[in-house]
Structure formats: structure tokens, C-alpha cells
Chain A
């Protein structure tokens, strides 16, 4: 083997960001300026974006790479239950599963977090005491976000006071589609303030935004507002997370990092059911933002059934045999 002495690509801030004079305060002070900035972001060609995502999905991740990816994916899961019928019992079972996913092998890491409604945060917190698993709570009148700002902020405070480590808010899609981007931004800022020391994930509900161009713009709004993570979906609306949407978000956080030096995470949620899906997302992360994002600190997968599929695939990799449907606890 011989090495071509190439050079690392220099980190170049996209000129359009510099030209816009990325000054969050200035952008906050004028909705017109903010709207112009968002309109000036590069568009996204849908077919090209879909094609790139499809090409990344052809990567063949086998053997040791697959095992590593499975374990990494487990560590990135926000194990989620967001049902009207959720009870304390349901939440406790979920926490137990998340804290010790693989009873046969303690080497399997716990999930990153458990995600519940605000009124079950305290239950989750108690159940997860002594583990590294975080408590994430949805808030801001999840999933629709259609309530007064006062109610939405109170929702956040309730979650934080109950002990949530992370808050998953929803943006006001109605305001976004009306063009009231200033209002969308202000809400993110206000929720971030209400979060205190809790991390903020901002759900864009990409399935309602209509175009990848809008996904990019909404992601920028969230990041300008102080998001720690941008998140695709509530999981209550289809389409939820898709590889192309994830690609757009990863490109957005990559660009934001290049300009501001601030690394925002990405969470994909909704419809990710199989290990194959999860590994595909990891490949997209790897080849878009790079290995620095391949950690639960910067990438999360919101899911429930996925965990068992990851465990099944892990067992198959290690033993060679396909699992039976009752080999794993359902919760």
C-alpha cells in the first residue's frame, strides 16, 4: 500500500452564511431580515437528495462493522412511549428495558434516554435512578403545538420541574407556513430559556413542512433559537423520519457548525423499525457530518420496537442463528 499525501479539506465557512452576517441578535430583531436570510439558504433538489440518500443506503455493513453499528445504535436510542394510554406501569417497564436492554450480555450499552409525556417524567426519573439513561420529555402541547404560548411554556416548566434532563419541543408549523418565521424563532428562544439546564431538542415535524427547502430553513430557525438538537418528527404524522430528510438536517448542522463552531445534534424519530434502517442512518451520519456525530451526544434515534430488532440482529451476528419471536421481552 502506498499513501497519497493528500491534505485535509480546510474547514470553509459557506460564503452565504458569512455574507448574511450571521448575527442571531440582528436576525431576531427583524423578521424581514430573518426571512431573507432563510430564503438565501441554498435550495435542496429533491431528486438529487433522494438519490444521494439511496446511494448511501447501498453501503454494505457486515460482520464486525455491523456489530459495532448495532451497539452504537442501541446507545443512541431515545426509547419512547407517547400514548394516551400510558401508565406508571408501562413507563416503569420501558425504563427497565432501556437500562438493561440485553439480559444475556451486560456489554450491551443502555439506551441514551427514555422519552415520555411531562406528567410521567417523575415516574421515569425514579425508575432510572442509578442508571446513565436520561429522561426526555415532550412538551409545548406535543404533538400539534396548537395552544397558547403561555400553556406551552408551562408545559415545559412542568417537565423540567419534574426532573426532565431533555425537552423535545415542537415548532409552530402553522406560523412557519404562514411565513411568521420570527414567531417560530421567538418560541424556540423562550422554550430554551424555560429549559434551564435541560437540553432542548426542537421537533420540526418535517412531514408537514412540504419540501426539503423548508426542512433546511426550519432547521436553521431552530439552531438560531438555541436548539441543542434538531429532530425530524413527533412520530404521530406520516411521513416521519426518512433518510433524505436526515441528510438535509445533517447538512444543516454541518454548515451551522462550520460557521458558528457550535455542534448541534440530530434526532430522527418515527418509522425506524429495523436494524437495517438504523444502520443506514448511521452511514448517512458518518458520510455527512463525519464520525464526530457518531455518538449519543450528537445523534439520537427515537424509537420503541427498534430496540428489539437491534438485539435480535446482534444475537444473530454472534450466534449465527435467527431469533424466535418470543426470545426477547416485548417490553
Chain B
């Protein structure tokens, strides 16, 4: 006799240091689909969660930036393999979140995966477009190399819950940064699903951390945090972005400003984001016997 199946509802938690803790505040908030259906209670991250995420990111930084670029590329490519395997899940998540048609959602997921693959392939090439040998006027060997900035706070684009997120996250980590992501506030589920993919991939714990919750609470904490080196305010509101940029001055954070809500994430991103959270180190050495 067939009974109507009671589905197992998913709990969406934070992703910090490779694990899925609940918010230490114990709070959660309701996420609805585009057409108003209840989707989930997601964790409402607190300032302490931000602190923990930053600490996890900082701890993960030495081995992620110290890995060979080839290794990072391999790790990121594997993430794309896993995303491909979960394509249908993400299509469903985007349909729920954005109310998109199946075709539109599928296009977004395909674009997101392809973009992830594109950035994976950049890992071992950035140094060749961003570095240089500099012909100084003297007997010195002089070269400039790009290095990752460090711990980056990323405010995910609001309204493009997967492709927008991938577009800001993948370039940052491909070059060796570690990230604390503040997910799309109204549509965080694709971000948390991405976190699950990361957790099952070879990406070391702490390299990417995902926090869900109101950006008005989370962004200022990140902005004022002196152990965060850079801030991508892509999805921040105008007021939050201005305040965050000013607060970020406390430790001279590298700021990438907000992007218009109607930004077309499908277009060719070029190399601007890839090179955004990069420091250039220039080394001199005499040439002599």
C-alpha cells in the first residue's frame, strides 16, 4: 500500500573550517522560495561565527597559498567535477530560489560550472600574466611575482545565487586567497549547497567558509575585523558598502566595491577579478661573480 512520502527536510548550517556548525547564537531565519513557499530555516550567523570563520580562514591560509598553483588548479577542477555531478540539485535550488524556469536555471548552473572550470585553469597561469621580469638599469635580476592578499571577506551578489557567487569566489581562491563568504541573504541555499560540495572535495577546511544571515549584521563585523585583509562588497547594499569601506580602513583593507544589482554575471569576466586580491612582490638581486 503506497503512503504519501514524508520528505526529509534539510537543515542548512554554516560552513566553517570544513565543518557544518550551527550558529553559536542558536538563531535561524526562514528562507522562502521565490513564490513564497517555506524552503528552510537557515543558520543566522552571529559576530562570533564571523570571528570563528575568519580564524579558520587564517589558519587555512599558509597551506592553501603555499600549495603549488598546479595543486590548487587540480583541487578546483575536482570541485567542478562534483558540481557537474550535482547539476540537477543545483538546478532545483535555483528554480526554488529565483523562480527561474528550468531552462534558465540550467543555463545558470552550466555557466557557473564552466566558470569554475575556467578559473581552475587560471591557477597556474596567473603568475605568467601578472608577474614580470623587470629590466632595471643596473646589474640586478629583478622580478615581480603575484601573491594572494590573504583572508578575503566576500559579500555574495544578491540575486545571482550561484553564478554570481562563483564569479566572485572562484577567482579569489584560485590565486591562493581564503574566503569568508556572506551568502545571498534571501537566497542562501545554493551557497550552502556549494559548501557541501566543497566539503566533499579536496579543498582544505577553512579555505572557503560560508555564513548565512543578514548582511547588515555580518558585513560590518567583517569590515572592522583587523585580521581580514580584503573585502569584496559585490552584493552589499549601497549604505552597507560605504560603511564597510570606511570601516575597512582600520587595517588598510583592499576593497572591491559593490556591483549593481542588475549586473550581468553571464558576460566574460576578463581577468579583473582574478587580479583583484593580489599583492605584487618585487625582488632584487645583484648579478655578479
- Residues from chain A with a CB closer than 8 A to the CB of B139 are 47
Bound-state CA distance A210–B288 (Å) is 11
Q: Provide the residues of chain B in CB contact with A103, threshold 8 Å.
A: none
Q: A250 to B139, alpha carbons, bound, how many Å?
A: 24
Size bracket of the A interface: under 10
A46 to B289, CA, bound (A): 6
Q: A47-B139, A47-B140 are in contact. Are A210 and B289 (CB under 8 A)?
A: yes
Kindly supply a per-residue 1/0 record for chain B positions 3-25, scoring 1 wherever the CB is within 8 Å of any chain A CB and 0 otherwise.
00000000000000000000000
The answer to the question of B129 belonging to the interface, with a C-beta cut-off of 8 Å to chain A, is no
Within 8 Å CB of A47, what residues of B? 139-140, 286-288
Residue A45 CB within 8 A of the other chain: yes
Q: Which residues does chain A contribute within 8 Å of B286, judged by CB atoms?
A: 45-48
Cβ < 8 Å to A, chain B residues 255-289: 286-289
Closest to A212 in B: B289
Chain B residues within an 8 Å CB radius of A46: 286, 288-289
User: In the complex, A238 Cα to B139 Cα: how many Å?
Assistant: 22
B140: which A residues are within 8 A, CB to CB?
47
Chain A, range 210-235, C-beta contacts under 8 Å to B: 210-211
A5 CB → nearest B CB, Å? 38
Chain B residue numbers with a CB within 8 Å of A45 are 286, 288
A45 to B287, CA, bound (A): 9
- Which residues on the B side are within 8 Å of A210 (C-beta)? 289
Q: How far is the CA of A50 from the CA of B286 in the complex (A)?
A: 11
Q: Which residues of A contact B289 (CB under 8 A)?
A: 46, 210-211
Q: How far does the Cβ of B91 sit from chain A's closest Cβ, in whole Å?
A: 62
User: Which B residues form the contact surface with A (CB < 8 A)?
Assistant: 139-140, 286-289
Q: Can you list 14 A-B pairs with a CB-CB distance of less than 8 A?
A: A45-B286, A45-B288, A46-B286, A46-B288, A46-B289, A47-B139, A47-B140, A47-B286, A47-B287, A47-B288, A48-B286, A50-B288, A210-B289, A211-B289
- List 12 additional A-B contacts (Cβ < 8 Å) besides A47-B139, A48-B286: A45-B286, A45-B288, A46-B286, A46-B288, A46-B289, A47-B140, A47-B286, A47-B287, A47-B288, A50-B288, A210-B289, A211-B289
Closest 10 CB pairs of A and B: A46-B288, A47-B286, A47-B288, A211-B289, A47-B139, A46-B289, A45-B286, A45-B288, A48-B286, A47-B287
